[in-house]
Amino acid sequence: MAKFLFVTDLDNTLVGDDNALIELYDRLQKHREEYGTKIVYATGRSPILYQELKKEKNLLDPDALILAVGTEIYTNGSHTPDSAWSEELSPGWNRNLVVAITTHFSELVPQPDSEQRPFKVSFFLEQTKAVKIIPQLESDLQKSGLNVKLIYSSGIDLDIVPRSSDKGQAVQFLRQKWKFVAEKTVVCGDSGNDIALFAVGVERGVIVGNARPELLQWHNENPADYHYLAKDFCAGGILEGLKHFGFL
Ligand SMILES: [Mg+2]
């Protein structure tokens, strides 16, 4: 057995099956103590919503946290985002300009203030309207010289973030910082904002059995032998995948 970098989404991936989570945590915690395996959560949640879930589900303290769909990285329990990562996101980002452009789209419903972050502007957008609105919005943002991208997830969440930011890019940053090769890194997810975790390189990928249609469709269109579609749901699916790849 050797150490590995374990990266997982939270909602409906790590969290969703309490009994399976207890078993997974038991295995991971032992692995961390014995081999130096690192545990990373990569979530769309803001710090406030992360803390709520952490308390509710008694989540283990991770070695690093990737919050707000990859726009913020916190290591070793720090409450301040990693400044080297923030610097990488700054070129071509202008939060006020992004907000100004989005006001022209009445279909966009702003998410609560807690979810509006220095490098993320977030809305609710109904799936039926998304097909029409997203390309128009993308075009308007580009015309203004902004270097941004749109991430649409779970049929409702629309995030506008710097182009160089997503969960996958944030994992690359941590991999390099901690010197883990892609083959010793495993990423786990269930929805659209997790595609970046799977698409960024040859990291081992576990797609949980309850994955949403947008991720399953991406997986069908981009098959790879280093991605595993689990049968079990949530933490049960993660356990299944970690065994499949020989990490546990
Ligand atoms: Mg999720």
pLDDT of residue 160: 97
- Measured in Å, residue 156 CA sits from the centre of ligand 1 at 13
CA of 48 to the centre of ligand 1 (A): 17
Instruction: Provide the CA 197 distance to its chain's centre, in angstroms.
Output: 7
Q: Name residue 122's beta-bridge partners.
A: 159
Q: What is the pLDDT of residue 6?
A: 98
* Distance from the alpha carbon of residue 144 to the mean position of ligand 1, in angstroms: 31
**Contact criterion met (CB below 8 Å) for 33 and 3:** no
Q: Is 183 left (phi over 0), alpha (psi -120 to 50) or beta?
A: alpha
pLDDT in tens, the chain (248 residues): 799 999 999 999 999 999 999 999 999 999 999 999 999 999 999 999 999 999 999 999 999 999 999 999 999 889 999 999 999 999 999 999 999 999 999 999 999 999 999 999 999 999 999 999 999 999 999 999 999 999 988 889 999 999 999 999 999 999 999 999 999 999 999 998 899 999 999 999 999 999 999 999 999 999 999 999 999 999 999 999 999 999 99
**Vertex 9: Cα angle to 33 and 130 (nearest 5):** 170
Say how many Å lie between the CA of residue 1 and the centre of ligand 1: 28
Structural domains for the chain: 5-87+165-244 (3.40.50.1000), 92-162 (3.90.1070.10)
Q: At what angle do helices 234-244 and 18-35 cross, to 10 degrees?
A: 40
Predicted pLDDT at 153: 84
Instruction: Collect all residues with Cβ–Cβ distance below 8 Å to 27 and sequence separation of at least 6.
Output: 239, 242, 248
pTM as predicted: 0.92
CA of 132 to the centre of ligand 1 (A): 24
Cα 91 to middle of ligand 1, angstroms: 28
Distance (angstroms) between ligand 1 centre and the Cα of 194 equals 7
**Which residues lie closer than 8 Å to 114 by C-beta, 6 or more apart?**
46, 48, 49
User: Which residues neighbour 179 within 8 Å (Cβ) at sequence distance 6 or greater?
Assistant: none
Check residue 185 and give its pLDDT.
98
How far CA 58 is from CA of 39, 125, 156, 174, 223, in Å, comes to 15, 31, 27, 24, 35
Q: How far is the CA of 123 from the centre of ligand 1 (A)?
A: 17
